[in-house]
């Protein structure tokens, strides 16, 4: 039985269509990101109540948790795009995967840095070889490996395939990050909130956190489109539509 996908899925294979649709979506993504992040930060850092145990130091949660969630989601996106590129030979999938890697690496650094800052007053140390922290560090190194492979070959197709394979192999680290707190006796606290369970914190605390998570995803989409557009132009520089674009925008 032949697997069928929606029409828009196949249109994504067109570099020209992606470039045109992304130019229309990016201003809206920028607006949504700005609004959500402004509301989330002001609400979380100023108006949310103090934590009864950690005081104001807990407020870094509004940066750390969205960054940690996005770092994992970005890697899953990158691996999925790599799989699509390998199986269905869609060039734009490899473009998206390559474009996502540096963003994911930066977000992983932010998650690790904010975790260290949060850990100092909570655990009394900037870093401990906790299972969650160590697996997040491994995630960062996986990002670096994918980035290195995207430029390790002169042939673009070869570098795309190598990076996709590493992305798929590294997916095994994602469930380790997610369930490390349950599998091992770690210092790291359990998930702040999940889709299936009622949040442990009051609404005036978790609502701004949810807003920040959404703002991070919106920011990721914005940065992904920006990087993918540049990568698309570089790869399709000999295409007629790119030449026409250059002529119309000297």
pLDDT at 171: 97
Percent of all residues in the chain with a pLDDT value above 70, rounded to a whole number? 88
Confidence of residue 158 (pLDDT cuts 50, 70, 90): very high
Confidence of residue 187 (pLDDT cuts 50, 70, 90): low
**Domain assignment of residue 59, given as a range:** 26-248
More confident residue, 179 or 32: 32
pLDDT at 196: 60
> Which range is least confidently modeled, 19-28, 162-171, 185-194?
185-194
Q: How does pLDDT run across 65-92, given as a tens digit for each residue?
A: 999 999 999 999 999 999 999 998 899 9
In terms of Cα–Cα distance, which of 221, 97, 100, 108 is closest to 159? 97
Give yes or no for residue 93 having a pLDDT over 70. yes
Cβ-contact 167, 75 below 8 angstroms: yes
Q: 222 in a domain, yes or no? A: yes
Q: 190 in a domain, yes or no? A: yes
Q: How does pLDDT run across 98-120, given as a tens digit for each residue?
A: 999 999 999 999 999 999 998 88
In terms of Cα–Cα distance, which of 110, 91, 58 is closest to 216? 110
Q: 15 in a domain, yes or no? A: no
DSSP state of 49: P
pTM of the complete model beyond 0.75:
yes
Percent of all residues in the chain with a pLDDT value above 90, rounded to a whole number? 69
Task: For residue 21, give the H/E element and its range.
Answer: helix 15-42
* Total of domains in the chain: 1
CB-based contacts of 173: which residues, under 8 Å, 6+ apart?
A: 75, 135, 138, 139, 142
pLDDT at 139: 98
pLDDT at 185: 64
Q: If you average pLDDT over every residue of the chain, what do you get?
A: 90
pLDDT at 250: 59
Confidence of residue 2 (pLDDT cuts 50, 70, 90): low
**Tell me, what CATH number does 88's domain have?**
1.20.120
Q: 17 in a domain, yes or no? A: no
Q: What are 30's two structure tokens?
A: 């920028």
Q: 5 in a domain, yes or no? A: no
Give yes or no for residue 135 having a pLDDT over 70. yes
Cβ-contact 48, 208 below 8 angstroms: yes
Q: How does pLDDT run across 136-155, given as a tens digit for each residue?
A: 999 999 999 999 999 899 99
Q: 132 in a domain, yes or no? A: yes
pLDDT at 9: 66
Alpha helix (H) residue ranges in 124-202 = 131-150, 156-170, 173-183
More confident residue, 61 or 246: 61
Cβ-contact 193, 209 below 8 angstroms: yes
Q: 243 in a domain, yes or no? A: yes
* Cα end-to-end span (Å), the chain: 49
Cβ-contact 232, 84 below 8 angstroms: no
């Amino acid at each position: 039985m032949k697997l069928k996908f929606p029409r828009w899925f196949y249109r994504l294979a067109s570099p020209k269509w992606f470039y045109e649709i992304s130019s229309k979506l990016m201003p809206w993504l920028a607006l949504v990101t700005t609004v959500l992040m402004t509301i989330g930060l002001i609400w979380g850092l100023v108006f949310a109540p103090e934590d009864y145990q950690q005081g104001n130091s807990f407020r870094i949660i509004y940066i750390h948790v969205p960054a940690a969630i996005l770092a994992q989601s970005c890697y899953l996106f990158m691996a999925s795009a790599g799989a699509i590129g390998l199986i269905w030979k869609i060039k734009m999938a490899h473009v998206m995967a390559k474009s996502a890697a540096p963003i994911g690496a930066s977000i992983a650094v932010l998650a690790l840095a904010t975790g260290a800052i949060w850990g100092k007053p909570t655990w009394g140390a900037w870093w401990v070889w906790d299972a969650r922290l160590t697996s997040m560090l491994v995630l960062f190194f996986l990002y670096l490996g994918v980035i290195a492979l995207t430029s390790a070959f002169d042939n673009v197709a070869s570098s795309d395939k190598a990076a996709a394979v590493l992305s798929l192999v590294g997916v095994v680290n994602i469930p380790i990050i997610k369930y490390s707190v349950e599998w091992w006796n770690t210092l790291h606290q359990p998930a702040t909130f999940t889709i299936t369970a009622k949040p442990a914190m009051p609404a005036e605390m978790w609502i701004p956190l949810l807003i920040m998570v959404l703002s991070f995803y919106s920011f990721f989409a914005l940065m992904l489109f920006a990087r993918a557009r540049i990568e698309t132009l570089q790869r399709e520089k000999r295409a007629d539509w790119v030449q026409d674009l250059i002529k119309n925008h000297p």
